[in-house]
Amino acid sequence: MENLLKVEKITKKFGNFFANHEINFEVRKGEVLAILGENGAGKTTLMNILFGHYTPDSGNVIFEGHKIDFGNTNSAIKLGIGMVHQHFTLAENLTVLENIMIGKQSIFSLSLPKKDARKKLLRLSEKYGLPINPDSMVTDLSVSEKQRLEILKTLFLDCKLLILDEPTAALTPQETEALFATVREMVELGLSVILISHKLNEILRVSDRIIVLRDGALVGEVNTNSAVRSEIAEMIVGKKIEYPKKQDVKRKSQYLQLTDISYKSLSFPAVQNINLTLSGGQILGIAGVAGNGQTTLAKLLSGHLKPSSGEVLFYENKKVNTSPKSFMNLGLAYIPEDRNSDGLVGEMEIWENVIMTEIDTPYFRNKFGWINKSKSFERATNLCNLYDVRMQSIRQPCRLLSGGNVQKLLLGRWLMRSPKIIIACQPTRGLDEGAIASIQKLLLQARAKGSGIVLISEDLDELLSISDDVAVMYKGALSEPINTEQTDKLSIGLMMAGEGF
């Protein structure tokens, strides 16, 4: 097969750190190339170089015989490289068609050539099997439709190489299948696709070739049909991954009970008549496609939202007023879904974040409110050692930590308090295999120590492997919990699509 893109000896340094080190590979016409690697392995840097966003320190990227003009994304777009980012870049208050046309018009032109654009959009939508209504408002689209729109936006620019960054992060298994069918369709029609993902199972199904990055270097290249899952996983991490195994744990008494909880407002998806019980030593998984009310449920469980009706009872039918603080004081820990904006204060140093949940404890301050730095430093150092948070110094701002380390720090901070109830919302989303294994291990350890855990996740493999029971959320309603021993991915997947509700 002919080469479309050739990457030659790309090296990019940030300070003394090699984000990319002499990377060589090529993308052939009409293939799906998957790029795998942990967070911080250099995938994003490499894509930013391909897309013309960063300038490498040395090396070249040649696309159809043309060198890419680095530091200029227009050049990459003009040559035919299109990128769909993990986070959507859509204007919610415009229609599909208007979103397609954004940025393609000079701001001084007074008219929009909507007619031509509509024609082209409909042609592309038919050609690649990506159905969409040009006049829908983007706000009204589902996640998978938004993604379809993002892909159409790049196709609209006549791209020959499509880069998809973590495209399945917010899709149901069924939607993922549909997306992959489209990807296969696109390569049949001559497009090339680079797929960046950390979900190995998916990559193995859809790609033609796989390259693996680790610590900025290319450590492996395999044809997918001769690839072995465990070998690739080890290539990614650089060592053998030990996935935690669920042990039998003695159930304790009931820790948390929700009776007929409903919540209605404009700012969050509504939930209706939620009933749920959680005992010590139990992991209750909550499955569901993003946006079906899981976030609302998590906020209700953690005291950030007050239910419109219904009761939240702790332990022996104890009731407290709804606030994050009073729930915390009852021994509840909450891992929020968005760990960067709700989890840690990025601008503040690691030690400052470590003591944030503890400011009421006199241990870290004297009676005049003076912070005891040496005790705080000691706690931060212990926490980082205990939970394997990799950092240069506890005085470094948290924003410099990778996703996995942020999550270990967040979870570790709560585990230090020996919580009785843990509400974990998407705790492993976007993390690499190694970090996923450590977070799951920590959750199972907490379960063994008697904590009751509500695990809200979109990753069915995770839910089935570490939780005791799974309930499914669909359009604000929660199903009865099902024992994970007595169900499988397929039936949960069907429930996620609304069966039985």
Partner 1 sequence: MVTFRLEERERTSYPLALISPLIAVFISLVLAGLLIILAGANPVQSYYELMKGAFGSKNAFAETLARATPIILTGLAASIAFRAKFWNIGAEGQLYFGALATTMFGTGLIVLPSILMIPFLFIMGALAGGLLLLPLVLLKLYYKVDEVVTTLLLNFVVVLLVSYLLEGPWKDPMSLGWPQGKSVVDSGILPQILAKTRLHLGFVIAVFTALSIWLIMNKTIIGYQIKSVGSNASAASHSGLPIFKTTLIVALFSGGMAGMAGVTETAGLKGYLTLDLSPGFGYAGIAVAMLANLNPLGVIFSGIFLASIYVGADAMSRAMNVPTYLADVIVGLTVLSILLSLIFINFKIKFIGNRDND
Which residues contribute to the site for partner 1 (CB under 8 A)?
15, 55, 69-72, 302, 304, 324-325, 328, 334, 336, 341-348, 352-353, 356-357, 359-360, 365, 368-371, 397, 400, 413
256 vs 406, which CB is nearer to partner 1?
406
| Spatial CB neighbours of 169, under 8 Å, sequence gap ≥ 6 | 86, 429, 430
**CB 76 → partner 1: shortest distance, Å?**
14
**CB 309 → partner 1: shortest distance, Å?**
23
Walk across the sheet containing 32-36 and list its strands. Answer: 81-84, 161-165, 192-196, 32-36, 209-214, 217-223
Q: Name the one residue in this structure whose structure tokens are 């293939």.
A: 31
By residue count, the chain amounts to 501
Phi, psi dihedral angles at 244 (to 5 degrees): -70, 150
Q: In sequence order, what are the beta bridge partners of 20?
A: 12
**CB 494 → partner 1: shortest distance, Å?**
34
**CB 72 → partner 1: shortest distance, Å?**
7
Pairing label, strands 309-314, 332-335: unpaired
156 vs 364, which CB is nearer to partner 1?
364
Mark out the alpha helices in 238-365 (DSSP H runs): 294-301, 324-329, 350-354
**CB 17 → partner 1: shortest distance, Å?**
10
Pairing label, strands 32-36, 192-196: parallel
Kindly report the CA angle at 286 between 280 and 289, in degrees rounded to 5?
165
Token representation of residue 319 = 């009731």
Phi, psi dihedral angles at 357 (to 5 degrees): -80, -5
75 vs 277, which CB is nearer to partner 1?
75
**CB 397 → partner 1: shortest distance, Å?**
8
d(CA 53, CA 55): 7
Sequence letter at residue 383 = L
**CB 97 → partner 1: shortest distance, Å?**
32
342 vs 459, which CB is nearer to partner 1?
342
DSSP letter at 343 equals I
d(CA 256, CA 425): 17
63 vs 128, which CB is nearer to partner 1?
63
191 vs 328, which CB is nearer to partner 1?
328
Alpha-carbon Rg for the chain, nearest whole angstrom, is 24
| Spatial CB neighbours of 8, under 8 Å, sequence gap ≥ 6 | 24, 59, 60, 61, 62
112 vs 356, which CB is nearer to partner 1?
356
26 vs 349, which CB is nearer to partner 1?
349
**CB 176 → partner 1: shortest distance, Å?**
30
* Beta-carbon count within 10 A of 210 CB: 22
61 vs 460, which CB is nearer to partner 1?
61
d(CA 495, CA 489): 10
N-term to C-term CA, the chain: 49
**CB 341 → partner 1: shortest distance, Å?**
6
16 vs 225, which CB is nearer to partner 1?
16
Instruction: Give the closest residue to 215 by CA, choosing from 436, 23, 435, 8.
Output: 23
**CB 71 → partner 1: shortest distance, Å?**
4
Kindly report the CA angle at 212 between 149 and 462, in degrees rounded to 5?
70
38 vs 337, which CB is nearer to partner 1?
337
Instruction: Give the closest residue to 210 by CA, choosing from 221, 198, 218.
Output: 221
